[in-house]
Chains A and B, each alone.
Chain A
């Protein structure tokens, strides 16, 4: 089992003829993801990487029965691309684009209200259910099928954690990058609820970082609703306040978003917080052994 994506997922790629879109569409197909089509306005009718290209998302969805759209569109157009995917009725939009203006994302979130659709990202490595489906840019081979759910605000730090787990023989049910931007789709709380329900997930690893209150909210949710154990790591104990640490959302502002407060909130809720990023894998292993 897994959450959100599995072997039944049918993906279209918005921006499939661009550099990033073309490269990663190919990688996804190689991993075994059912990529059924692509969208690039003006290039409809072509076959690219062995899949048909359409001018609009609506026609792509109607023609292929796709239920997920992966967006590799430049930041200036990505907000609009998300809305087009939402309008076309896909159940899940994964937006990989980094650098979308915040005000555009506010409009996107407004547009999504009341519609039955999930958004992952933007500024995310994507989502993977190992051995079944990968919608994103992560290297597939470091993952292994298994029973640990991973959710993260980061890219390479997630690969690091996945790699530690896989090398210890601990596989993953689903790994989700929620995105490094201040305004995103699915949150830690949304994913905790899904992992708690998923029969294929035994425990969750949460990789947070400075900025915002996503980890504090996850702590509250965990305390009130969860039985499965959660292990967390929070990056940025040494990050100075007021500076944006790479990700648009990774900033301590007005005293909100400090790593030490997040760690405090998580520990108070009963979540195991790992302080040393080199020890995340072994902490999970020890926890699984103790159960």
Chain B
């Protein structure tokens, strides 16, 4: 789960990681009051969205004086911000972080992630902050420092020291820098993060270390033990269809194409998307109804697929194991009946009780195209698409 920069910075504060003076504003008036409280111009106003690249998208504004703060806040609040890291529709800006602007001497990178192969956290640092760490790693790998953490003892002070000396910072910053590194690690573990990143971590002209930006992702699987973190979720930053799907424990991701698909199992769902692409179309979504889907979940899944106005046809691909095909077919028939679906539907059922399932589909009086096997299904999807195009051509 992603959280906003201002929320991450509040966490930083509680872990003694220095952040610029500032606060979050949801209205122009609040932005003004925060700036007034900070007192010293210039100010910086940062759009709070769940994506990076905000500077390039025009989501970060400098303001000289309080009048300028009002103008900048009015421009940012309510806008839809498109950045290199958002999709073409962008993300809504409903909150701003208003901060003091600092005089920066040097920009550093500090981050913590999980190394999947070694099964441990890794601290990553670079003296070249401010840009994406992946780009630095690609162009100047020697400028990226890494410290793998032994899970039995956690990050050791000597490792924080090694990062400090590796960065080549002035000796006067030794204690401050190692404290930031160790505190960030403590936060990472205690809050079950999957990513904790300060980019840039700056050295100011006054010789202070300050987290100018903050990015924290929380492990979704651990949210049950962090109610305080779970409450930071901002559904306005998520696709509305994905929010709706999450209410029914459905794994749904909106994509760009027009073939809606519903599958049981994440791997088969991805393979089904790939198959749609292979027949010359684009998948409209990823939808995994799970290995243990109920007829109700199938119904809700179909409903969400059809909310998406880009969807021109539906491909249901189910491999029944423990989940029986007849149960599933009943769910689909009920859903299609109730929802009055007029789009073509190709259904491929395989596995447990497949014959009974196909019988239910055939006897429903509804016009499904029933496929046997994945290959047949792919052909029938392609054929249906062609028919749709032909109909369009005739008009």
Contact = CB atoms under 8 A, between A and B. Distances in A.
Contact of B120 (A101, A104, A106, A212): A106
B235 interface: no
Contact of B152 (A110, A160, A180, A249): A110
A105 interface: yes
A15 to B, nearest CB: 16
Contacts of B378: 276, 278
A119 to B, nearest CB: 11
B219 A245 contact: no
Interface stretch (B36-44, B90-98, B206-214, B220-228): B220-228
Nearest to B149: A106
Interface residues of A, number: 63
A160 B219 contact: no
B356 interface: no
B267 A278 contact: no
Residue with the greatest number of chain B CB neighbours at <10 A, chosen from A240, A244, A246, A279: A246
Interface in A171-208: 180, 182-183, 207
A47 interface: no
B108 interface: no
B356 to A, nearest CB: 15
Contact of A210 (B270, B291, B375): B270
Residue with the greatest number of chain B CB neighbours at <10 A, chosen from A104, A152, A213, A254: A254
Given A27-B322, A245-B270, A278-B374, 8 more contacts: A99-B221, A102-B194, A102-B221, A155-B268, A210-B270, A235-B271, A239-B270, A243-B253
25 contacts: A102-B194, A102-B222, A103-B192, A138-B321, A142-B321, A154-B267, A156-B319, A157-B267, A159-B351, A163-B319, A163-B350, A209-B270, A217-B117, A235-B268, A236-B270, A238-B277, A238-B283, A239-B270, A239-B286, A244-B220, A245-B270, A246-B266, A246-B288, A250-B270, A278-B378
Interface of A: 23, 27, 75-76, 99-107, 109-110, 137-139, 141-142, 152-160, 163-164, 180, 182-183, 207, 209-210, 212-213, 217, 233, 235-240, 242-250, 254-255, 275-279
Interface of B: 85, 114, 116-117, 119-121, 133-134, 138, 151-152, 189, 192, 194, 219-222, 224-225, 251, 253, 255, 263-278, 282-283, 286, 288, 291, 319-322, 350-352, 373-375, 377-378
